[in-house]
């Protein structure tokens, strides 16, 4: 996996997309905890506070100084801020018990809890921080701020609030004890208007954990304080600094847009390590070792980063962690097992975070079906030579139309294909790289797909794919257009490559009450779908044959019912097929056309074949039978209500499954059953007679085009596809036409 990611980095760094400094990088403010926004007044002291949820916090970035362990404007503050170590148990216990009683009382109002917290704070003292904690705080708000200021002297106006914050903090030079005391006062004031959920966060920052599971000691006892210290441990609270007096013409510091601008300005300014010689000191201590990729002696990574990626969460680049006991027997863990430059793995981390961020969805990243039930992988697609290409490449390879009203493959991908064609005129050697990242569990992620394609092959494959979708007779599907708020028809839909996966991996079962319901049984993967999409790949023909067989096997019963619905027009009144089933039928018919064209069969040749005419004859027999039921078996009152007394199976549909295995036997049975209906049609002259006589003439035309000597003894998949297309194809004459 690291080898593939190194190629991603090489492409992105041509444009300076990621920070390449060995010691400074952009990281999320907080991955899995609520973030405390601390707004400073003009004196540089905390004045206002706010908590934001972890999903929003993950979208905010901070400059992290890796070698120094400092960051800005986000940092980790030691918590709790207050202590009770010098207070007697007699004074403290009543206040503790009162607060605990209010928490356990569901009817207690937030303002009561806030008042009790304020009362408890009167018995507390400011916490004494260790020299190391004070020094780390100073490195963030003094040392790192001094390093950042020169980089932002020429910052764009959109960073006005960030540069103001830098100046404010640089002038104030806050120290941890005073900052902590002012923050405690701001939190107590904030608590007066907070809700219960937020009050719990405030309490943890101020006092730490006051109550915990399996607590067997009383409040305020010596054992209580001992256990509380163990529960609090080395706790900290992630926070982000911002301004009270924000320039409202621009985004505040705690905003994703500001984070992205800070990232760009840091790249432009060439952010470097502020602690000179740190890397050299490290090499002198450990001894320079060669990087596994370049062979160049360098500072190796101690720990591999864990970038947070949309859809996948934390993504560990290399999982041979020192905490895995089973690996200790070999004596080689992490960089000893795979020595990689610290700078390179950080660039890999930044590259993944850039390509997989939410704003890139459809362009460079897209969730796609996973091999694991109920999960989604993340597809990453980019143009190697032009990684800033703005076309929706991920949509081209990972798109899926969920509803009839959604744009199909042809409409959705036309802009990106035109853009690719324009780029190919100046550089015919352009290549596109695909990566799919999957999550095996919370701790393990891996690359499930890695492909490289020439851009010109993508354009060619897309054109062939569109032609394949039209390689069938017209098969219209009726649906209700939610956007237009009216019924509509869809014919010759162009499916997406990944529709091969979504259609074939569903197995449909018929139930008397529930109708047709699907279950997912994995048979093909996205990699298989791409093999079919690129028709000239070495695996294409075998994969196409396999996909055709699976499609016919799994969609057979649904196709048969779909054909019966088409002949009876049931979808207009009481459709036995769900919208999802109809969507699957429309996509599957188009995929039949694609598979047949990939295998060298055009619709013009197939529609002249005897097997196709047998399918068409069965459909016409259904139509004639339905007309008989409508005009002979159904009363005039029911016809006015658009109801027809027809059996569950029309005569063509009844022998269709037999025709899939023994077409000659099916024709013989149809010939016996259709006699009374043909006799009625020959003499009928009432309403709708023009359409009925047209059906009879078309049946005669089918019979004349058949050569039963060409009917195979054993039906192959190609023959079955022909039979389905003949049966599902539209009648060129409307059933309302009585000419």
State yes or no: pLDDT of 276 exceeds 60.
no
Say if 281 falls within a structural domain: no
Share in percent of the chain as helix, strand, coil (round to 5): 50, 15, 35
| Total of domains in the chain | 3
Confidence (pLDDT) at 7: 59
Cβ proximity of 259 and 61 under 8 Å: yes
Percentage of the chain modeled with pLDDT above 70: 82
> Whole-angstrom Cα distance, residue 546 to residue 552?
10
Identify whether residues 217 and 250 lie together within a single domain. Answer: yes
* 549 in any annotated domain: yes
Paired strand residues for 289:
298
- Asked, for residue 302, whether it belongs to a domain, the answer is no
Q: Does residue 617 fall inside a structural domain?
A: yes
When comparing pLDDT for 41 and 219, which is higher?
41
Backbone angles phi, psi at 241, to 5 degrees: -85, 145
Residue 583 lies in a domain: yes
User: What pLDDT, on the 0 to 100 scale, is given for residue 19?
Assistant: 35
pLDDT at 736: 38
The partner residues of 188 in beta bridges, in order of sequence, read none
At 461-487, the pLDDT tens digits run 999 999 999 999 998 887 767 676 777
Both 586 and 662 in a single domain?
Answer: no
β-bridge pairing 35-40 and 46-52: antiparallel
* Gap between the Cα atoms of 350 and 18, Å rounded: 6
Q: Which of 598, 620, 651 is the last residue of a domain?
A: 598
Strand pairing partners for 487? Answer: 480
Distance of alpha carbon 57 from alpha carbon 49, whole angstroms:
15
- Rounded distance between C-alpha atoms, residue 153 and residue 173, angstroms: 19
- Domain span at 545: 361-598
**What distance in Å separates the CA atoms of residue 679 and residue 632, rounded to the nearest whole number?**
13
**CA–CA distances in Å: residue 586 to residues 473, 500, 514, 594:** 12, 12, 21, 13
Q: Of 404, 660, 717, nearest to 542 (Cα)?
A: 717
**411, two tokens:** 């409409």
Do residues 90 and 203 share a domain? yes
Please enumerate in sequence order all residues whose Cβ is within 8 A of that of 424, keeping only pairs 6 or more positions apart, or say none.
Answer: 430, 455, 456, 459
Residues 184 and 201 in one domain: yes
Helices (H) and strands (E) in the chain, counts: 28, 21
Do residues 619 and 715 share a domain?
Answer: yes
Cα 370–chain centre separation:
10
Summary mean pLDDT of the chain: 81
Q: Give the DSSP letter string of 284-345.
A: HHH--EE-TTT--EEPBPSS----EETTTEE--S----TT-GGGGGGT--GGGTS--BHHHH
User: Can you give the pLDDT at residue 283?
Assistant: 44
Which of 542, 566, 598 corresponds to the end of one domain? 598
Is the residue at 128 inside a domain? yes
Higher-pLDDT residue of 115, 279: 115
- Look at residue 335 in the predicted model and tell me its pLDDT: 57
The verdict on 434 and 482 lying in the same domain is yes
pLDDT at 216: 66
Query: Half-sphere exposure of 321 toward its Cβ, with a 13 Å CA cutoff?
Result: 10
**What's the confidence (pLDDT) of residue 66?**
54
pLDDT at 258: 92
**Whole-structure pTM value:** 0.61
Residue 340 pLDDT: 79
pLDDT tens digits, one per residue of 54-65: 888 888 888 887
Which residue, among 183, 165, 195, 201, has the nearest Cα to 73 in the 3D structure? Answer: 165
Radius of gyration (C-alpha) of the chain in whole angstroms: 35
Q: Kind of pairing, strands 431-439 and 82-83? A: unpaired
Residues 6+ apart with CB under 8 A from 563: 619, 622, 653, 656, 727, 728
| pLDDT tier at 22, thresholds 50, 70, 90 | very low
Residue 204 and residue 147 in one domain: yes
Residue 337 belongs to some domain of the structure: no
Band the pLDDT of 6: cuts 50, 70, 90: low
Relative orientation angle of helices 610-628 and 689-705, to the nearest 10 degrees: 160
Report the alpha-carbon distance of residue 411 to residue 406 in Å, rounded: 9
Distance CA 213, CA 231 (A): 10
Percent of the chain with pLDDT over 90: 31
**723 close to 662: Cβ distance less than 8 angstroms:** no
Do the beta carbons of residue 365 and residue 377 sit within 8 Å?
no
Residues 522 and 664 in one domain: no
Residues 579 and 613 in one domain: no
Question: Cα-Cα-Cα-Cα dihedral of 399, 404, 410, 411, to 10°?
Answer: -90
Separation between Cα atoms, residue 365 and residue 358, nearest integer Å: 8
- Would you state the pLDDT for residue 49? 93
- Per-residue model confidence as pLDDT tens digits over 714-730: 889 999 999 999 999 88
More confident residue, 696 or 447: 696
| Cα–Cα dist 591/597, whole Å | 10
Is cis: bond before 73, omega within 30 of 0? yes
Q: Which of 545, 576, 598 marks a domain boundary?
A: 598
Phi, psi values for residue 281, rounded to 5°: -60, -40
Beta strand extents in 410-491 (DSSP E only): 431-439, 445-454, 477-481, 486-490
Indicate the pairing of strand 365-369 with strand 376-383: antiparallel
Range of weakest confidence among 118-122, 507-511, 619-623: 507-511
464 part of a folded domain: yes
- 369 compared with 268, residue with greater pLDDT: 369
pLDDT of residue 89: 57
* Residue with the larger pLDDT of the pair 608 and 231: 608
Q: SS3 for 171? A: helix
387: helix, strand or coil: coil
Position 165 confidence tier, pLDDT thresholds 50, 70, 90: very high
> What local confidence, expressed as pLDDT, does residue 275 receive?
37
What's the order of all strands across the beta sheet hosting 61-65? 24-28, 61-65, 70-72
Q: How far apart are CA 184 and CA 338, in angstroms?
A: 46
With CA atoms as reference, report the closest residue to 556 among 720, 719, 730, 731: 720
Largest CA distance in the chain: 109
Question: In the structure, what pLDDT confidence band is assigned to residue 290 with cuts at 50, 70 and 90?
Answer: confident
Task: Give the pLDDT confidence of 236-253 residue by residue, as tens digits.
Answer: 899 999 999 989 999 999
pLDDT, average across residues 162-189: 94
pLDDT (average), residues 123-128: 85
Residues 557 and 632 in one domain: no
Q: Are 48 and 423 in contact (CB under 8 A)?
A: no
Q: Are residues 191 and 50 in the same domain?
A: yes
Q: What is the pLDDT of residues 304-361, one digit of tens each?
A: 777 777 666 666 676 555 555 555 544 555 556 667 787 777 777 777 777 777 777 7
Instruction: Please report the pLDDT score of residue 137 as a whole number.
Output: 92
Query: Backbone phi, then psi, for 648, in 5-degree steps?
Result: -65, -30
Give the span between the Cα atoms of 466 and 408, in whole angstroms: 10
Q: Which of left, alpha, beta for 475 (phi over 0: left; psi -120 to 50: alpha)?
A: beta
pLDDT at 544 exceeding the cut of 60: yes
Same domain, 541 and 625: no
Q: How confident is the model at residue 285 (pLDDT cuts 50, 70, 90)?
A: very low
pLDDT tens string 580-596: 888 889 999 999 999 99
């Amino acid at each position: 996996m690291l080898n593939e990611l190194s190629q991603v980095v090489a492409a992105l760094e041509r444009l300076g997309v990621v920070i390449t400094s060995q010691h400074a990088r952009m990281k999320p403010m907080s991955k899995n905890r609520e973030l405390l926004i601390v707004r400073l007044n003009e004196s540089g002291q905390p004045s206002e506070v706010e908590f934001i949820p972890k999903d929003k916090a993950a979208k905010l970035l901070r400059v992290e100084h890796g070698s120094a362990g400092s960051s800005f404007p986000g940092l980790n503050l030691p918590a709790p801020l207050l202590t009770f170590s010098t207070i007697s148990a007699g004074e403290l216990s009543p206040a503790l018990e009162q607060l605990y009683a209010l928490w356990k009382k569901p009817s207690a109002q937030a303002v009561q809890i806030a008042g009790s917290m304020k009362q408890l704070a009167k018995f507390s003292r400011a916490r004494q921080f260790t020299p190391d904690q004070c020094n780390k705080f100073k490195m963030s708000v003094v040392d790192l701020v001094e390093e950042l200021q020169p980089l932002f002297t020429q910052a764009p106006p959109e960073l006005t609030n960030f540069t103001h914050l830098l100046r404010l903090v640089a002038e104030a030079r806050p120290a941890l004890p005073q900052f902590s005391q002012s923050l405690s006062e701001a939190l107590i004031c904030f608590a007066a208007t907070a809700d219960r959920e937020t009050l719990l966060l405030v309490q943890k920052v101020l006092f730490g954990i006051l109550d915990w599971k399996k607590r067997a000691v009383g409040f305020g006892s010596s054992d209580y304080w001992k256990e509380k210290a163990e529960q609090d441990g080395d706790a900290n609270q992630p926070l982000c600094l911002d301004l009270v007096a924000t320039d409202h013409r621009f985004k505040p510091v705690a905003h994703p847009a500001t984070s992205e601008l800070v990232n760009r300005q840091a790249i432009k300014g060439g952010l470097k390590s502020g602690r000179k010689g740190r890397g050299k000191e490290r090499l002198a201590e450990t001894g320079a070792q060669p990087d596994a990729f370049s062979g160049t002696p360098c500072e190796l990574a101690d720990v591999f980063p864990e970038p947070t990626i949309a859809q996948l969460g934390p993504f560990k680049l290399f999982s041979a962690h020192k905490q895995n006991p089973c690996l200790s027997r070999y004596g080689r863990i992490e960089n000893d097992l795979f020595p990689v430059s610290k700078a390179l793995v950080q660039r890999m981390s930044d590259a993944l975070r850039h390509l997989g961020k939410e704003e890139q969805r459809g362009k460079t990243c897209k969730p796609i079906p996973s091999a694991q039930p109920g999960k989604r992988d993340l597809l990453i697609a980019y143009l190697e030579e032009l990684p800033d290409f703005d076309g929706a490449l991920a949509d081209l390879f990972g798109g899926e139309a969920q509803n009839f009203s959604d744009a199909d493959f042809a409409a959705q991908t036309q802009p990106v294909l035109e853009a690719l064609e324009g780029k190919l005129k100046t550089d015919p050697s352009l290549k596109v790289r695909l990566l799919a990242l999957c999550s095996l569990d919370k701790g393990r992620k891996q690359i499930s797909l890695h492909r490289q394609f020439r851009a010109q092959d993508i354009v060619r494959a897309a054109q062939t794919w569109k032609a394949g979708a039209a390689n069938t007779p017209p098969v219209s599907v009726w649906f209700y257009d939610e956007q237009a708020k009216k019924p509509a028809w869809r014919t010759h839909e162009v499916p997406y490559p990944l529709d091969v996966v979504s259609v074939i991996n569903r197995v449909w079962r018929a139930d008397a009450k529930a109708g047709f319901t699907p279950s997912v049984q994995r048979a093909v993967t996205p990699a298989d779908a791409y093999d079919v999409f690129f028709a000239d790949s070495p695996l294409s023909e075998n994969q196409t044959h396999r996909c055709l067989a699976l499609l016919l096997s799994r969609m057979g019963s649904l196709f048969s019912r779909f054909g019966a619905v088409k002949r009876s027009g049931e979808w207009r009144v009481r459709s036995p097929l769900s919208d999802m089933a109809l969507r699957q039928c429309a996509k599957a018919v188009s995929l039949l056309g694609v598979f047949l064209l990939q295998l060298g069969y055009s619709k013009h040749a197939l529609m002249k074949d005897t097997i196709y005419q047998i399918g068409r004859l069965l459909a016409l027999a259904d139509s004639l039978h339905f007309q008989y039921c409508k005009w002979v078996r159904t009363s005039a009152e029911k016809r006015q209500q658009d109801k027809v007394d027809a059996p569950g199976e029309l005569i063509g549909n009844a022998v269709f499954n037999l025709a899939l295995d023994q077409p000659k036997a099916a024709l013989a049975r149809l010939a016996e059953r259709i006699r009374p209906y043909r006799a009625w049609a020959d003499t009928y002259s009432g309403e709708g007679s023009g359409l009925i006589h047209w059906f009879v003439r078309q049946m005669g035309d089918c019979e004349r085009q058949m050569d039963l000597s060409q009917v195979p003894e054993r039906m192959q998949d190609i023959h079955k596809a022909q039979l389905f297309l003949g049966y599902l194809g539209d009648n060129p004459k409307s059933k309302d036409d009585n000419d």
